[in-house]
Structure 1
Amino acid sequence: MYRSLFPRDLFAELDRLQRDAGSLFDLSPSIRGSSRGAYPALNVGSSAEAVEVYAFAPGLDPASISVDLERGVLSLSGERAAALPAGEDAGTSLHQNERFSGRFRRVVSLPDDIDADSVNASYRDGVLRVSIRRRAPQQARRINVQ
């Protein structure tokens, strides 16, 4: 969106500024909080068999991604190198750079019934998929008193 350096309607600009500032403190209705603008974007879902985590991170080298699972907490971390347009020279200046570059870390709390020994991670077409199987539910059993 184009914004003029010299706004014609001062009150419209003040209203936009107030909305932008308010969005910084916007509380999410989720107990886990808001992750607006975090990199990489995550989708987390579950079924009776597994918990699935999808991280949308195009352009990463799979070797630069670290997936760790410890005490029911899944950590995804890595680094994305800065990629500037090819053919740059000393006289070229960058006016806008919206692509994330640098180190990142995302953490997801998992349910108690996951099986930490059956985790699969794959990276394809810019999407990291982590699948964690659930343990079979324990059946209630009757104990004879002797």
Structure 2
Amino acid sequence: MLYRSLFPHDLMNEFGRLQRDLQGTLDGSPAIRGAGRGGYPALNVGSTPEAVEILAFAPGLDPAAIELNLERGVLTLEGRRAATLPAGNGAGGASGPAAAAAEVRQTVHTQERFDGHFRRVVSLPDDIDAAAVRAEYRDGVLRISVPRRGQTQPRRIPVQ
């Protein structure tokens, strides 16, 4: 309690804010409600008694660029997101006036959108039905539904 008399409450809040800002800078990933987890695409994983549901948030991604694999209870989501900015120096080895006209120098001031290869891995429980997995990409969200096997779902047994 002595620290409250020596330092005003606002100063302690400022120290907390400064610590969060520094931690966010060192982590390299933005934090929304808790520590940033990083990784692309962002995932939500949940379960019901019937299935494990995985949502991958990947707006602007071509569904053909997504590869899903399920092996030994491990779901792997990987692919490539195309760059949205030109590569930079364009001539590619040609020379002369045409090449000079084609060469464009570009300065990127900030780039927050991820591009390139990505890979996310999710461990699934033992009671899944690997043959009945469904995946659908709509409005920038990939929804993967992994049903549980029927015999592992709890059921009520009547007592006679």
When normalised by structure 2's length, the TM-score is: 0.63
Do residues 79 (structure 1) and 93 (structure 2) align?
Answer: no
CA distance in 2, matches of 1:109, 1:35: 20
Please tell me the root mean square deviation across aligned C-alpha atoms, in Å.
2.6
Query: Which residue number in structure 2 is paired with residue 116 of structure 1?
Result: 130
Q: Output aligned runs, 1:17-28, within 5 Å.
A: 19=20, 22=23, 24=26
Query: Which residue number in structure 2 is paired with residue 5 of structure 1?
Result: none
Q: Which runs of 4+ in 1 moved over 2 A?
A: 18-25
Letter in 2 for 1:113: D
Query: Which residue number in structure 1 is paired with residue 64 of structure 2?
Result: 63
CA distance in 2, matches of 1:35, 1:94: 25
What's the % identity of the aligned pairs? 62
Q: Report which of the two has the higher share of helix.
A: 2
| Equivalent residue in structure 2 for 1:98, among 112, 116, 122 | 112
CA distance in 2, matches of 1:37, 1:100: 11
CA apart distance, 1:65? 0.2
Single out whichever of 34-43 and 55-64 deviates more from structure 2.
34-43
Q: Report which of the two has the higher share of strand.
A: 1
CA distance in 2, matches of 1:92, 1:105: 29
CA distance in 1, matches of 2:150, 2:71: 20
Q: Which has the larger radius of gyration?
A: 2
Letter in 2 for 1:110: L
1:45-74 deviation line (CA, Å, top 9, x unaligned):
111111110000011110110010001111
Name structure 1 gaps, 5 residues minimum: 1-11, 26-33, 140-146
Cα gap change, 1:35 to 1:21, in 2 (>3 Å)? closer
Name structure 2 gaps, 5 residues minimum: 1-13, 28-34, 87-102, 155-160
